[in-house]
Amino acid sequence: MKKVLLVGDYSLATWHPLRGVDDELSRILSIYDLTITEDYDKLSIEELKEYDFVVNYIDAYDLRANSSLAALFISYVADGGAMMVIHNGIISRKLPELEQMVGGAFTHHPKHEKISFVPVDSHPLGKTIMPFEIDEEPYMFTMSNLAKLSIVMNYEYQNELYPAVWLRSFGKGKVIYIAPGHNAESFKNEGLELLVQQGALWCCNELDFPQDNIYTKD
């Protein structure tokens, strides 16, 4: 059985606690041996390498993040590991090197509302997931000009499309970013559930999709 590590925060989370989300992700990823920890700042690279992929739902970067954590995650992925970064897991302003690894930097979000998420039909992964509508925070990003990304899904906001899900290679490893996932209720959406499951298969090399087209915003 593939091994997965979910990292996030319970007591120190400000906006996105793991409580509730952990139960939903345990259900969605039930075919895996899932370990959950908020002691991610105490992990070693040897421990991380025991897992087939890491799910990053960290909320307390401002309180707990440091260069050692950035080096840990970057070393894990660059040496062949896989990381699924969900929603708030991208907000690591104190660690721009992690933003570079993920491929974008969170800037802000307007007030949450019902949002439509639309697959990119031309992408192989886009053909395996479905459009869905969910009450979410419309996350906005500055996309890295250096990162080669493959956009899998966009969301519609005020008649414009914005990137919501992307893949990228990093060193010998890979990263998938999934923007929706504000709280436990989000993960009860069938579309998001399927997206996480398909992303997990990609992380485990059971789906082989390209992640090398360069994102540009007109």
pLDDT by residue for the chain (218 residues), tens digit each?
Answer: 999 999 999 999 999 999 999 999 999 999 999 999 999 999 999 999 999 999 999 999 988 889 999 999 999 999 999 999 999 999 998 899 999 999 999 999 999 899 999 999 888 888 899 999 999 999 999 998 777 889 999 999 999 999 999 999 999 999 999 999 999 999 999 999 999 999 999 999 998 655 444 443 33
Amino acid sitting at position 216? T
Instruction: Report residue 52: phi and psi, to 5°.
Output: -70, -35
The class of domain 3-203 in CATH terms is: alpha beta
SS3 readout for 124-160: CCHHHCCCEEEEECCCEEEECCCCCCEEEEEEEECCE
Of 145, 144, 141, which Cα lies nearest the Cα of 154? Answer: 141
The pLDDT of residue 218 is: 32
The pLDDT of residue 215 is: 40
The structure tokens listed for 107 are: 């800037």
Strand partners, 33: 3
The pLDDT of residue 144 is: 82
- DSSP, collapsed to helix, strand or coil, labels residue 43 as coil
DSSP 8-state secondary structure symbol assigned to residue 124 = T
The pLDDT of residue 158 is: 94
In contact, 60 and 14? CB cutoff 8 Å: yes
- Domain segments of the chain: what residues? 3-203
The pLDDT of residue 209 is: 58
The structure tokens listed for 145 are: 């000009």
The pLDDT of residue 214 is: 40
The pLDDT of residue 7 is: 98
The pTM of this model reads 0.94
Q: How far apart are CA 34 and CA 73, in angstroms?
A: 18
Strand partners, 135: 114
